[in-house]
Amino acid sequence: MPESAVAQGWSPRRIPGVAYALVGLGMFFSIFARGFLSAPNLVNVGAQSAILLIVALPMTLIIMAEGLDLSAGAVLGLSGVTLSLALVQGAPLPVAFLLALAVGSTFGAINGLLVAVADIPPFVATLGTMGVAEGLAVALTDGRSVVGIGSTLPALYAGKFIGAPFAVWAAVLTYAVFHVLLYRTRFGAYVFALGGNREALVLAGLGANRYHILVYVLGGLLSGFGALLLTGRMSAGHPTAAIGMEFDAIAAVIVGGTRFERGNGWLPGTALGVITVGILKNGLNVMAVSSSLQVASIGVLVIAALLVDSIRERR
Amino acid sequence: MKSARSFHIPPIVYRMISVALIAIALAASTDAFIRSENILNVLRQASLTFLIASGLTLVVLTAGLDLSVGAVVGLSACLTGAAVKATGSIPLGIAVGLACGVVIGIANGLMVTSLKLPPFIATYGMLWIVYGINYWYMAGDTIYGFSDEFKSIGNGYALGVPIPVYLMIAFLILGTLFTRNTTYGHEIYAIGANAEAARLSGIPVRARLVLVYTLSGAMAGLAGVVYLARLGSAEAGIGDPLLLPVIAAVLIGGTSLFGGSGSLCGTLIGALILTLVLNGMNLLTVNAHWHPLVYGGVVLIAAGLDAAARKWSDG
């Protein structure tokens, strides 16, 4: 890795990478997947990508801070189980939602403490909390779906506002909030510094740990928010439904051009990466490729993105 | 802290004491534990964990990580099962399982060295690629009905001791000789302690890294064969739950995530502790749904102790 990359920071050369992938896949599926390029299917891609975007946005910040959150899917599952169990007990939706957010941010805070304060490498810390969250979700439900959550949440999820599904609005608003947070606030500047120049934060007396923990708390919080949408979509809480979603999110972030070193992050890239992953999954689905090969193809997409990156850097 | 360091007890002694304590606690709390068949069963289970964890230990010694081992066990078991069913040849089956692990291991090694990907992201991508291929290949099928001769690799006894235990002892001795008494072994420790210094002193860092990832893949491939023989049937998901306990075994065994320190003897003890805990939970009829939570908790505690030890020794 050339030293000059530090000075360049984020390099605009990366914009085309994900755009090529997006346009290429879009064209490929338009030609070869019958029914891909239809309005209902494209709305479907949007709705499917919405939850992923909500998980991928904080994941971008976490990866920028040289971290990783392997627990995101499991925490989303546990938050969904919490939400559903509360609804089954008769709690009003806002209360149940707050509980889900609380569970998510608690796990986020634990991840942050383990990484920032206890200095455990993030992939191991979050692998551990992944096990804990998955274990709790499965143990709480005995491995079964939680049904009987009433009709308020499914109705909210199915609702359309100004022509777009609720999930799409939720994703767009979340994106707007994150964009402002990362590019227009001091917190955002600190996030760039966390991965790029942590020492500078410490020397400026800003206490890097606080922001480092906060980044993970945001991850957990948004997993709680994602749980609202996923539970609405499935009309039930399922303990393991979101297992593996963290991989799609990490893939979207990497394909979008954010890297693990030097605070290289690009939020619009993450949005494009999410759509790329969404199109890849949906297109393969329309072509009746089995879901397990879809998973493998996302793995290949990630490695291809990194491969292209390393070839470019060598030039 | 200085004075504490002057009467230094090797950490492995603490670990042996803790194995003894867990064993005593179990023996006291359940009548079933002390029976010889249960103890042999514990050893048989520990040997599977150890086989996978021994290869992973080498990777962790270089400050790397291999998250794909669980998926490799699954694919190796399924491919071995298919090969043995199709040809009836056991040596061919074993060769297929090993080859599957070796190929994936080399791919991991090349991603880490040639593409310079962070090991956790390279092997995490590989996890999902292997997982996807395996689920696609098996398409929900189960392969079963193997000859007793094949099953004896996992189930059989020689002189009253389970055959996998002999494998465990053989690889413990071979691996310990390899890490302690060969140049390769010393170079692996040196790379983990300081990769840059290792490179400058003429150690072929890339070749050694490819070697450790290949060995990790090969051990997971071999474990897949043994696991298949023990279960007597193969389905796509059988390796999935193994990742957390194997990482836990390596960490409890005292191999540092930061590289350069640890041993295969430690990993053996880690595998024993973990299996004893699992066995204890089974004997006390704790629901299997709690397993991921326990493994996750164990990973967090072990990683926390590792990170804390590193902090203290640094200053």
Tell me how close the Cα of B65 comes to any Cα of chain A, in angstroms: 9
pLDDT tens per residue, range B167-195: 999 999 999 999 999 999 999 999 999 88
pTM: 0.86
Closest CA to A55 of A187, A244, A197: A244
> Which pLDDT does position A205 carry in this prediction?
67
The answer to which of A188-197, A221-230, A246-255 has the lowest mean pLDDT is: A188-197
> Which pLDDT does position A8 carry in this prediction?
40
Rounded distance, CA B246 to CA B278, Å? 13
When pLDDT is averaged across residues B210-221 and rounded to a whole number, the result is 96
3-state per-residue secondary structure call for chain B: CHHHHHCCCCHHHHHHHHHHHHHHHHHHHCCCCCCHHHHHHHHHHHHHHHHHHHHHHHHHHCCCCCCCHHHHHHHHHHHHHHHHHHHCCHHHHHHHHHHHHHHHHHHHHHHHHCCCCCHHHHHHHHHHHHHHHHHHHHCCCCEECCCHHHHHHHHCEECCEEHHHHHHHHHHHHHHHHHHHCHHHHHHHHHHHCHHHHHHCCCCHHHHHHHHHHHHHHHHHHHHHHHHHHHCEECHHHHHHHHHHHHHHHHHCCCCCCCCCCCHHHHHHHHHHHHHHHHHHHHCCCCHHHHHHHHHHHHHHHHHHHHHHHHHHHC
Closest CA to B248 of B71, B43, B25, B46: B46
Contact A135 B311 (CB under 8 A): no
> Which pLDDT does position A182 carry in this prediction?
92
Which residues in chain A have their CB less than 8 angstroms from residue B250's CB?
Answer: none
Contact A306 B117 (CB under 8 A): yes
pLDDT tens per residue, range A193-222: 887 777 777 777 667 788 899 999 999 999
Model confidence at B7, in pLDDT bands (50, 70, 90)?
Answer: low
> Which pLDDT does position B167 carry in this prediction?
92
Residues 4..63 of B with a Cβ closer than 8 Å to A: which? none
pLDDT of B310 > 80? The answer is no
- Picking from A78, A114, A120 by the largest number of B CB atoms within 10 A of its own CB, the best residue to mutate is A120
3-state per-residue secondary structure call for chain A: CCCHHHHHCCCCCHHHHHHHHHHHHHHHHHHHCCCCCCHHHHHHHHHHHHHHHHHHHHHHHHHHCCCCCCCHHHHHHHHHHHHHHHHHCCCCHHHHHHHHHHHHHHHHHHHHHHHHHCCCCHHHHHHHHHHHHHHHHHHHHCCCCECCCCCHHHHHHHCEECCEEHHHHHHHHHHHHHHHHHHHCHHHHHHHHHHHCHHHHHHCCCCHHHHHHHHHHHHHHHHHHHHHHHHHHHCCECCCCCCCHHHHHHHHHHHCCCCCCCCCCCHHHHHHHHHHHHHHHHHHHHCCCCHHHHHHHHHHHHHHHHHHHHHHHHC
Among candidates A292, A293, A303 on the partner chain, residue whose Cβ is nearest the Cβ of B125: A303
Longest distance between any two alpha carbons in chain A, whole Å: 61
Which residues are CB-neighbours of A136 under 8 A, at least 6 positions away? A78, B293
When pLDDT is averaged across residues B34-57 and rounded to a whole number, the result is 89
Rounded distance, CA B247 to CA B297, Å? 12
B205 Cα distance to chain centroid: 23
When pLDDT is averaged across residues A41-69 and rounded to a whole number, the result is 91
Contact A128 B303 (CB under 8 A): yes
Rounded distance, CA A179 to CA B299, Å? 35
Closest CA to A74 of A96, A104, A51: A104
Please, which residues bridge with residue A164 across strands? Answer: A161
Smallest CA–CA distance from B130 into chain A, residue: A296
Phi first, then psi, for residue B297 (nearest 5°) are -60, -45
Contact B293 A139 (CB under 8 A): yes
- Picking from A292, A297, A298, A311 by the largest number of B CB atoms within 10 A of its own CB, the best residue to mutate is A292
When pLDDT is averaged across residues A291-299 and rounded to a whole number, the result is 86
The reply to whether B250 touches chain A by the CB within 8 Å rule is no
Model confidence at A80, in pLDDT bands (50, 70, 90)?
Answer: very high
Tell me how close the Cα of B135 comes to any Cα of chain A, in angstroms: 6
Which residues in chain B have their CB less than 8 angstroms from residue A135's CB?
Answer: 289-296
Tell me how close the Cα of B164 comes to any Cα of chain A, in angstroms: 27
Smallest CA–CA distance from A313 into chain B, residue: B115
Among candidates A131, A250, A300 on the partner chain, residue whose Cβ is nearest the Cβ of B292: A131
Among candidates B111, B116, B299 on the partner chain, residue whose Cβ is nearest the Cβ of A128: B299
Phi first, then psi, for residue B157 (nearest 5°) are -125, 150
Which residues in chain B have their CB less than 8 angstroms from residue A297's CB?
Answer: 132
Among candidates A125, A135, A299 on the partner chain, residue whose Cβ is nearest the Cβ of B129: A299
The number of C-beta contacts closer than 8 angstroms across A and B is: 143
Which residues in chain B have their CB less than 8 angstroms from residue A5's CB?
Answer: none
pLDDT of B298 > 80? The answer is yes
pLDDT tens per residue, range B36-47: 788 888 899 999
The reply to whether B251 touches chain A by the CB within 8 Å rule is yes
Which residues in chain B have their CB less than 8 angstroms from residue A107's CB?
Answer: none
Model confidence at B62, in pLDDT bands (50, 70, 90)?
Answer: very high
Among candidates A142, A295, A307 on the partner chain, residue whose Cβ is nearest the Cβ of B289: A142
Higher-confidence residue of B102 and B298: namely: B102
Mean predicted lDDT score pLDDT of chain A: 87
> Which pLDDT does position A53 carry in this prediction?
96
**Residue whose tokens read 């291999």:** B66
The reply to whether B287 touches chain A by the CB within 8 Å rule is yes
Tell me how close the Cα of A234 comes to any Cα of chain B, in angstroms: 23
The reply to whether B303 touches chain A by the CB within 8 Å rule is yes
Model confidence at B4, in pLDDT bands (50, 70, 90)?
Answer: very low
Tell me how close the Cα of B70 comes to any Cα of chain A, in angstroms: 14
ipTM above 0.85, yes or no: no
Phi first, then psi, for residue B235 (nearest 5°) are -135, 165
> Which pLDDT does position A262 carry in this prediction?
67
Among candidates B115, B287, B294 on the partner chain, residue whose Cβ is nearest the Cβ of A306: B115
Model confidence at B12, in pLDDT bands (50, 70, 90)?
Answer: low
pLDDT of A62 > 90? The answer is yes
Tell me how close the Cα of A84 comes to any Cα of chain B, in angstroms: 19
Pairing of the two strands B233-234 and B143-144: antiparallel
